[in-house]
A and B are shown apart, each in its own frame.
Chain A
Amino acid sequence: MTAPTRISPPPNNTRRRILGMIAAAPLLLPMMGLSRQSRPAARPILSSGEPLPLVGLGSWITFNVGNDQAARDASAEVMRNFFQAGGRLIDSSPMYGSSQEVIGYGLKKLGRPADLFAADKVWISDGDEGRAQMEASRRHWGIPRFDLMQVHNLLSWQAHLPTLFAMKAGGQLRYVGITTSHGRRHGEMEQIMKAEALDFIQLSYNLYDREAEQRLLPLALERGIAVIVNRPFQQGALLPRLARHPLPPWAAEIDCSSWAQFALKFIISHPAVTCAIPATTRIAHVVENMAAAAGRLPDKAMRARMAAFVDNL
């Protein structure tokens, strides 16, 4: 795989514009007519300025329930509570088994919210088959078009990105992105971020896996690329690890009532992060996750304190 060499300027952005948008982000709540207590805070997608709630909904494992009708209904209830709490972005992939169909089932049952932000991925080696796979995904969701289409795990990104940019130009999707997970291939992702006019990247970032802070998150800010964070709870491994210890009393200063909120607030308070996408099967967890984006968020000093605290556990 050859590293890209073409360096393009940030798409329609200057650093000042980006930083101005981030600074104005708290204003988005009153602009949206939402109360700080009940609705999740939003941050702008840097390439467009469109606000996006800081917490979305992932579907890896949790929504892969096959034809189990009771589990499909339970997934739809998770979606209902997610939307009721002000959520917009749902993320899936053809790699996630029946998750796309289950999301489609939920959207049909609940009625598709007007402000749904549908994010999916193309995951196929053959670039020529990308369009057919994306069309199949769209049918599973039962939506007219995706808002965001990402190249999953950078698989054949050289073949897929031109297709995605052409689809964006043709109005078949609104944003283009690339993804990685588990901290893999950050070097290659960095090169693509420098070379291509991406709207989004998606990567793993959490209290323990903080490698992205070194290069990718600053680069995303610099290039005006929105960031979706996957594996915020290390696929369930992080919270049991933290649950062995009491939540520090100072967590109340940032409106944390649980370790899950502590972990999520750490992620979404990073200025480069646009949205974290925890996946869950439980309504109580959706409500708790969305509440993490509704209260006070840690500042830089508090984030450092949170990281140091967890490192010393």
Chain B
Amino acid sequence: MKTTRKTADKLRYSRVILKELVKTDFQLRYQGSFLGVAWSVLKPLMLFCVMYVVFVRFLKFSDGTPTFPMVLLLGIGLWNFFSEATTMGLNGITGRGDVLRKVDFPKYIIVVSATVGSLISLAINMGVVLVFCIFTHVQFTWNVLWLPLNFLQLYILALGMALLLATMNVFFRDIQHIWEVVMQALFYATPIIYPLSLVVTQLGPKGVIIQKLMLLNPTAQIIQDIRHNLIAPDTTPTVWTMWNGSPLQFIPLLLTLLILWLGAYVFHKHSAKFAEVL
């Protein structure tokens, strides 16, 4: 009885802090700019325009389907979330050293609030994508029912990564620089700005294996899955179609869970020491 009440109290306390932190983070993000919250829609749209001009019009990247611009926009939106959530989470603990040295509160909330803040931006972005989809007459299928699970996996991956990075950054500040480089590499290793089929057309038969290996990366798997389920079920290859039947197709899913477990474990183990090290 007493322990359940205690956990209930703790949860209520965590929720109160989470709400306040997300609120202030969001207020602060666009504070002082003329357009304010509108930037959370405008920024990805402008980035999309740049990439569309460079890669679709200029370099002529395309998988040959009319939906490719939408697939590109969706990919950029999803990647932005992953990149923002992990980077904000990474700096979450180190950035709040002054508070941590003065009050004791559940520290994982800082990281969760950073990822939830990015989740709000993601929701806005996805709203925009949806509007574009309707305008360009995308044919939705019953596959959209999978989307909640896809987004859940994306969030779990981002949260696990953020917890892991936040902890490491407290002890080794080099992590923030390393992660920047890793993110850049991951960005190009994931079929975001180019279609996955480009690998085969460029590399020939070798490309088929590389294509399959690339999809074992959880970010690639999730982004392809969401594109597949939302926009283009027929023309987006996913890990499930490429590794069909092989048990290896579950690797990205297992990796996601492993990262969450590892992040939570490492964070929990070291969070008591944060105030002393910072």
- Tell whether A and B belong to one assembly: no
Q: Give A residues with C-beta under 8 Å from B.
A: none
Q: Give B residues with C-beta under 8 Å from A.
A: none
